[in-house]
Structure 1
């Protein structure tokens, strides 16, 4: 079996770690982002940044069962893993747990205490929820052998008779399925199969729909604080989008394009900004996923790439993410990614806009700052009167991103927050390290594989491997690493081709990421024809739309790239005339790469700290959320 690293590792005194090509033993924790360590070869002491450390591979002396990509698990497998995680969660949260505690929980969940300890050990060794998926031999759990008519029948009866305020018992559902099966003249599924479908339902959703909302809420401990549940760093993170009130210009001709979208994530306990994502594209689940992965990962290299001086010592998995009910915050990729890293994704209750007050006030703070930059559109026509935003526009997307990050890191995090009575950076340090009066949470674990973490929040596809490689949206990809998988068949049904999970970054689809089940890692697979130009998913979507409008019936890869060439030629010729063409040009991955190169540090416009505080919406008192209970 492959020996896999845990998803995260915690830097602690006595731990053996790697930095570059050398091994060190940590001796002391120095600050929230650095440690003292002794070089094992030279015995010299050095100060190392935590986000530059890697776990020592030899520490993983216990073999871990091979994992899958998150998308490969069936819904039933994933539901069982979630139930197992909920069973061991009280033990994880109680370092002083006893055997009696374990036996009580085991009895509650109908298993033996030794089984509970086995799940606990499996989760702690692997560091992720997917390790709790059953690996028993035989037919994979989650494989449904009922006919389409039988599945539809069971689903309909559960919806009509079980998930209602009538609170019918499972036996009634079995009898109703049998009754309707007789009427439809089809074979009724076995009663155990029907009960299994009921057991696979989300417990929380089922209780809510069966009229037990208060009971479902009370299953979780009451949470107190200025914001419910925000009792320490990364306990609750809020995420939201806004169109920035500024007109940006393109990277090449520096002509106006339009307004960018800004996605921000804030830690409600310390008010630290933990992550962001900026793009011209409208909000989507990809935007949210990019923001979440950015929040979890260290940001030292990100700051260096932007050319922003300063520190942003924030990383680690949050307990709860609060978002509103917009469709971009819902989707299998985002929800399963959150499940994998034990993040409770919660949606804002309808008609309670104050529930997202912290992120909305952060958006207000950013809006106040952005209106001081050239090209600002202001918030209304009265403020904008006499100011030509397009004529004054001067910042590109990359320059705007650097200014936003510079403001967050070197101004917002550092200045005194009116409600906290201290800067967010200081509040964060107190929450992490503590002081004489308060116990700190401890330095958050660092992602062992940031690339995999980012890919876990990106769109995925399932494809078989053919002799030509893999095809997605009529684009062919190939690398010799695929050879062992060509025309492979499903282990459970040799008549079917085995399908593999592929991830794709929509910003550049010139390569895909193939989950190699042998190496248990993502492998980059390029275009089969490596001479093809890079393209974004948005460009591909636009090409497909144009080809449909033109009535093109025979579309293949050649047709697509010929259309891409024509489209880019038209865009280039119109780029001086229309904003739409300039915006379209930003979707070219080649333009993104140019904008992504490291730049010199960006100087913020001069401004006194007192002026910033006057503009800060945080200076206004926040109404306590005493009427809200949040599960954790």
Structure 2
């Protein structure tokens, strides 16, 4: 067994406790005394060497606290990290110390040290020699370390870089006043200038009594010394950055900018954790028919943490909400083959699909919605909420948004760039050339054909390669049925179930089926039932059986109106009908059907006339819903738009000009005064006993959902 050279009375720290080496036994074991409770323990050299290798044993340099802070700091720093000037000076001093130790001198007489200095200087060819007093101070620093094994060149390294004014320049009360004033006036959002801080501090110092103060704190006039403006600014600049940022910009900003950057949470297999978030795209799109700027669309993305693959995406004008989250999640779970058939220009495969184990989201209201939570519960998906205002906990998707913006969006004509300084004089709306469909195809092509096959620095391979390797080891899981997925990923509302059916957004849903009849006549029927609504198709809803949990499909009683009708389009139609009605009249399905026909006819003619100025109308009725806008007949079109047309029954005659807009408005007002109020042939068609939407402001609801559309003549 190899023995270690331990010194008697040497102090070592073992697992945070201090021991003093007392003696070595005849068996070779070392007897250590616990400094705090004086108990004895024994260790072999091998055991102590093992503890030292595990970094559980430390040889204490200064157990009695005899070294000053500067000397201790010097000995705790690695020699290689010292400044070059310090290392050069220490290497110049070292031969004198080695000569003293090698000659085993017992005395430090002036004559002996002078002779030693002369010998070493001659041997090392030193032009300058240290004085006897200097060498004596170096020896004190060298032998101040008790164990010879712990003495090295750092013991005699100069510490002039740590020097400073060791004495206080100002009275302690003056320093306290200055620090308190800085905290009150500098460490706040609306900070004051240094001159203002100094003026307030001087006024407070004036109230201090100079009597009994030390003379070094007084000036020639017998008043307390005060810091100058230059001294104050040096003090302000010496405050730690995190303290300044926290005081001036808040704790959240300090946490964001001053905390060390570390690697974020990781996953061990595909779909173990999926990050989901939204952002507003930095590009303006045009309407395909009118070449009018529609604005900036939103994108909702689901990113797999393990592979960095994009597994789901939604792009549209609908602002972030429960519905956009559901559409993105549906796209993430479903296979992408049928989806990619709409975009033949995309060459590569998009193999990502399956049910995530957990979804990592922020604290937006859409992620706390009932629809999202219930869908995740039903699909057995965990929801991981990030700490408030700490986006670094889902930093992978945040960085992906930045990559999409820099590498793709900023290269598209019509980009808005990230800020006004970067945009400069660039006219984004004037340069815009892409429609929403073009932008969708462009982004999806970049995701599948560029990003997915490019080397990702975080995983050292392409995301699609990482996905394919991961799913071979950990196959993805799928829901039991496609129909269940469509039901779960729909909007949830509570509505009252009556004999007339369910009233929802002014529409009535009912069915003459045994299952629905049994449902409305159950004795244990609750006050409200859960209803799932597909916002893209209001032709039917799903009503929950509160006992079994199954959902029953209930169709609309007005299929001629609700077929291929979206919730956004229905909202606009209701708004137009309400604007035409008198105060005592109600919205009826008959009026909605009539308005829907007129509305679509107006759109077709205004598209041809280039007079449709609503920027979000196309988003409201559906970006790809041109098939829902049939061509209107010439006579109604002329009546609506006021353009010249020819009657098909009056061939060869001069064309008849339709009445102007002003005349049509007068004629319409006169006909409404003569006509009786229209009532619905179906009783209780629009009744709702609990919270009918007719009682709410329609404009408020549409504005809350992000729908702002109108038709200008």
TM-score between the two structures when normalised by the length of structure 2: 0.46
CA distance in 1, matches of 2:422, 2:286: 22
- Where 2:325 maps in the other structure, the secondary structure is helix
Secondary structure in structure 1 of the residue aligned to 2:274:
strand
Shift of 1:489: 3.9
**Conserved in 2, the CA contact under 8 Å of 1:574 and 1:581?**
no
Question: Residues 134-183 of structure 1: CA distance to partner in whole angstroms, max 9, x if unpaired?
Answer: xxxxxxxxxxxxxxxxxxxxxxxxxxxxxxxxxxxxxxxxxxxxxxxxxx
- Kindly state the Cα deviation for residue 335 of structure 1 after the two structures are TM-superposed: 0.4
1:372, distance to aligned residue in structure 2 (A): 1.3
Q: Residues 399-548 of structure 1 correspond to what in structure 2 (within 5 A)?
A: 399-433=438-472, 440=473, 442-461=474-493, 470-477=502-509, 482=513, 484-486=515-517, 488-493=519-524, 496=525, 501-513=530-542, 523=553, 525-526=555-556, 528-530=558-560, 534-545=564-575
Distance (Å, rounded) in 2 between the aligned partners of 1:502 and 1:390: 42
Q: Greater relative contact order (Cα 8 A, min sep 6): structure 1 or 2?
A: 1
Q: 2:326 aligns with which of 268, 289, 293?
A: 289
Matched, 1:274 2:311: yes
Matched, 1:383 2:429: no
Of 270, 277, 301, the match for 1:240: 277
Gaps of 5+ in 1: 1-224, 434-439, 596-632
Does 1:319 pair with 2:357?
yes
Q: Distance in 2 between matches of 1:487 and 1:338?
A: 30
Q: What SS class does the counterpart of residue 503 from structure 1 fall into?
A: strand
Structure 2 CA distance for partners of 1:515 and 1:253, relative to 1, 3 Å? farther
Provide the C-alpha distance between the structure 2 equivalents of 1:230 and 1:244, rounded to a whole number of angstroms.
28
1:361 paired to 2:418: no
Deviations 1:466-504 (A, max 9, x none): 776654222234565x455237445443xx589765432
Q: Secondary structure of the residue that 1:356 maps to in structure 2?
A: helix
Q: Normalising by structure 1, what TM-score?
A: 0.51
Deviation at 1:254, TM superposition (A): 3.5
CA-to-partner distance for each residue in 1:45-67, whole Å, 9 max, x for gaps? xxxxxxxxxxxxxxxxxxxxxxx
Question: Which residue of the other structure, out of 323, 326, 338, is the alignment partner of 1:301?
Answer: 338
Question: 1:296: how far off?
Answer: 1.6
TM-superposed CA distance for 1:330, in Å, is: 1.1
Q: Which residue of the partner structure matches residue 328 of structure 1?
A: 366
Distance 1:561 1:590 in 2: 21
Q: 1:451 to 1:303 in 2, by over 3 A?
A: farther
Structure 1 pair 319–581 and aligned structure 2 pair: CA distance change class (3 A):
same
CA displacement at 1:459 relative to structure 2: 0.9
How far 1:321 moved relative to its partner? 1.0
In structure 2, the CA distance between the partners of 1:382 and 1:233, relative to structure 1 (3 Å rule), is same
1:580 to 1:229, Cα distance in 2 relative to 1, 3 A = farther
Query: How many Å separate the matches in 2 of 1:373 and 1:522?
Result: 47
Query: Kindly tell me: are residues 318 and 304 of structure 1, through their superposed partners in 2, closer, same or farther at Cα, counting changes over 3 Å?
Result: same
- Once superposed, what is the RMSD of the aligned Cα atoms? 3.3
CA contact (8 A) 1:298 1:446 kept: no
**Does 2:618 match 1:585?**
yes
Provide the rounded CA distance (Å) in 2 between the counterparts of 1:546 and 1:579.
16
Larger radius of gyration: 2
When residues 230 and 261 of structure 1 are mapped into structure 2, their CA distance, relative to the original with a 3 A threshold, is: same
Aligned residues: 361
Q: 2:436 aligns with which of 394, 397, 407?
A: 397
Q: Measure the CA separation in 1 of the matches of 2:443 and 2:479.
A: 25
Query: 2 CA distance for matches of 1:414 and 1:573?
Result: 46
Find out whether 1:230 has 2:263 as its counterpart: no
Structure 2 counterparts to residues 39-58 of structure 1, below 5 A:
none
Distance of 2:483 and 2:369 partners within structure 1: 21
| Gapped regions of structure 2 (runs ≥ 5) | 1-261, 629-713
Asked whether the equivalents of residues 571 and 582 of structure 1 are also in contact (C-alpha less than 8 Å), the reply is no
Cα deviations by residue, 1:329-364 (Å, 9 ceiling, x for unpaired): 111110011111121112220242211211111111
The separation in 2 between residues aligned to 1:375 and 1:333, in whole angstroms, is 36
Partner of 1:112: none
Note closer, same or farther for the CA distance 1:509–1:303 as it changes in structure 2 (3 Å cut). Answer: same
1:556 aligned residue? 588
